[in-house]
Structure 1
Amino acid sequence: MQPQPQTSVASASSTKTWKVWWQLTRPHTLTAAFVPVFLGTALAVYEANIHIGLFFAMLIASLFLQIATNMFNEYYDFKRGNDTADSVGIGGAIVREGVKPRTVLNAALGLYGISIMIGIYICMNSTWWLAAIGLACMAVGYLYTGGPYPIAYTPFGEIISGFVMGMMLILISFYIQTGFISMTSILVAIPSFILVGGIMLSNNIRDLDGDKEFGRKTLAILIGREKAVKLLAAMFVTAYVWVFILIAANIVSPWLALILISAPKPLKAIKGFKGKTIAFEMIPAMKHTAQTNTIFGLLLAVGLFMAYIT
């Protein structure tokens, strides 16, 4: 039997390590970080010349904060005994791949540290008041699953995550380019607020049985699975209708009707949740929910850019 070349073994090990850490980022959630930055910047083109450095700084910082939040989630759910090797929807680095819990925590703190450095650059080129807002957003990311009373274990996870990741990221991205907040930027941010909250709700619908077993009091648990799915559907409808109200009121361009291209995704999400009770079976529905936020937000940005150049 021929011995396996060391280079081949090292390559396979490196590939596996990369995959473990990639899964730990929970890539399906990252749209909640980068889409608002694109949208806030698209809104800003009407008011100012875009500072490319600030755009990329905001984009990278937002992604790092989302990844760090996911790592805190992985760490604290493990420490509380909520995650096992059979858990669905987790990165699994600790319970499946044997990564040391402290390594995951340190990685999250390291990403926070890098985000702070990037934040200093953003503040130097905009306003230092953003430092307080940025630190508050970081605190929410940590407290979502960290601390004695994790936000994720309460009925407020959807509204808080939607506000911070959906609305605040858009408004900050807009502000650093323009130096002010407009009413239009707030109104256009509302659908993102709703859809990011929808990602969290879809996660809680999928995890309802396991969360209930561990004593969580999420919104999905309090109102029940069937009503939670109906609420998610209502959130989808509200996000789409809101944009058309803005179009009808001549607040935004008819180009934003491009969002209709994304309509099949929320329909598939709701269909995927209906009648399902097994977490694994609901993974596709959760992915469709995240994809709704991605495609909807990017189409909004495209519509804004098209209206600007035409």
Structure 2
Amino acid sequence: MKDNKKSVALGSMRIPFLVLPPTCVGLGVATALYSGGTIDILHLVLVLVGAVLAHISVNALNEYDDFKTGLDFKTIQTPFSGGSKAIPENPEKAHHALIIGVGSLVITILIGFYFIYVRGWLLLPVGLSGVLIMMAYTKWITKSPILCLIAPGLGFGHLMVMGTNFVLTGTYSWTSFAVSMVPFFLVSDLLLLNQFPDIDPDREIGRKHLPIAVGKKTCVIIYGLFLALTYFSIVAGWLLGLIPVQSLISLICAVLAIYTFAGVKKNADSIADLIPFMGKNVVLILATHILLALGIILGI
């Protein structure tokens, strides 16, 4: 029985995906340092915990909803889509995923209230927006093609990067806004690409994300456009004097971006052949985030 609970708990968290929030927080830390801020270790730890718990909450609530709607029984599992299948294998323990999702959400909100108390009410719009995205994503946002496209990028980009910067400095900055555009485009692309394998099952349960609305060919174009805008935003941030020249080290990843886009374009209709490029897309995102943060810090 304990093993079943553990399987559902760990499966619903989607632990391999939790490497993303620390890289986004890292970008916020880099912009805070570049703006002359100092790092309070307690605040940094709480921000990191809150970011990871927010991601866990979205993952667990999504897993629970996918089980309740029957989607889990229709999808084919891949390393990047189709759910963990932990709940269908242990349906009597499904409520543990709900407990983890709601519990993580509550702790995230409490951390947010703490930061509003110590940093002020200007953090409230970021916090409220984040909570709304977390609660609404699976049930409602996935029914709107445009919202479903941009919500992940807003959450991991603008809200996480700018929120971290505000918590550590007490202010928002144009530097943090410019840097937040990078995860905005990349994470939006991540979810867009990960929706490709589940188009038919998602359509059956009433979802209407962008691949359902406009098809894979158009989505491949959007995917490529967002990749281009990622690296354009880095160059623009440097030209506007918002980030240092050392930040341009992250442009190295544009080579991988071109290769990944070519693979996605060629294999969009073959999930088996697309999966390796979905993996390369994850590497691309993490590498770009890390190199950009490193470049900003080197430029201090």
TM-score by length of 1: 0.85
Native 8 Å contact 2:8 2:87 kept in 1: no
Q: Is 2:218 the counterpart of 1:227?
A: yes
Q: How has the CA–CA distance of structure 1 residues 201 and 28 changed in structure 2, closer, same or farther, with 3 Å as cutoff?
A: farther
Task: Please name the residue that 2:197 is paired with.
Answer: 206
Which residue of structure 1 lines up, in the alignment, with residue 232 of structure 2?
241
- Report the counterpart of residue 133 of structure 1 in structure 2: 126
Indicate if the aligned counterparts of 1:271 and 1:285 stay in contact, CA closer than 8 A: no
Paired residue secondary structure (2:228): helix
2:47 matched to which residue of 1? 58
What is the letter of the counterpart of residue 286 of structure 1?
Answer: M
Q: Taking structure 2 as the reference length, what is the TM-score of the superposition?
A: 0.88
Q: Match of 1:194, as an amino acid?
A: F
Matches within 5 A, 1:17-28: 21-28=9-16
* Higher fraction of helix: 2
Task: Check 1:264–1:98 CA distance in 2 against 1; reply closer, same or farther (3 A cut).
Answer: farther
**Matching residue within 101, 104, 116 for 1:108:** 101
User: Which residue in the other structure is 2:250 paired with?
Assistant: 259
Residue 129 of structure 1, CA deviation: 4.5
| Structure 1 position 84 matched with structure 2 position 73 | yes
CA-to-aligned-CA distance 1:80-135 (integer Å, 9 cap, x gap): 11111753221111113446221110111111122233223323331244355324
- Give the gaps of 5 or more residues in structure 2: none
Residue 287 of structure 1 aligns to a residue in which SS? helix
Give the stretch that moved more between structures: 240-249 or 176-185.
240-249
Cα RMSD after superposing both structures: 2.4
Note if contact 1:269-1:284 (Cα within 8 Å) is conserved in structure 2. Answer: no
Q: Deviations over 1:138-170 (max 9, x none)?
A: 221121113xxx212320212122112211111
Asked if 1:184 corresponds to 2:156, the answer is no
State the SS of the aligned residue for 1:207: helix
Residue 152 (structure 1) aligned with residue 142 (structure 2): yes
Q: Which has the larger radius of gyration?
A: 1
Cα deviation, residue 55, structure 1? 1.2
1:193 matched to which residue of 2? 184
User: What SS is found at the alignment partner of 1:180?
Assistant: coil
Q: Distance in 2 between matches of 1:128 and 1:183?
A: 19
How much identity, in percent, do the aligned residues show?
Answer: 27
Aligned to 1:4: none
1:12-51 aligned at under 5 Å gives the runs 21-46=9-34, 47-51=36-40
User: Gaps (5+ residues) in structure 1?
Assistant: 1-9
SS in 1 for 2:195: helix
**Are 1:77 and 1:83, in contact at CA under 8 Å, matched by a contact in 2?**
yes
1:302 corresponds in structure 2 to 294
For 1:184-214, what per-residue CA distance to the aligned partner results, in whole angstroms no more than 9, with x for missing partners?
2212211221111111111122322332333
Number of equivalences: 293
Segment of structure 1 superposing worse, 228-237 or 254-263:
254-263
CA contact (8 A) 1:28 1:290 kept: no
Q: Does 1:289 align with 2:278?
A: no
Contact 1:205 1:228 in 2 (8 A): no
Contact 1:58 1:122 in 2 (8 A): no
Report the Cα offset of residue 18 of structure 1: 5.4
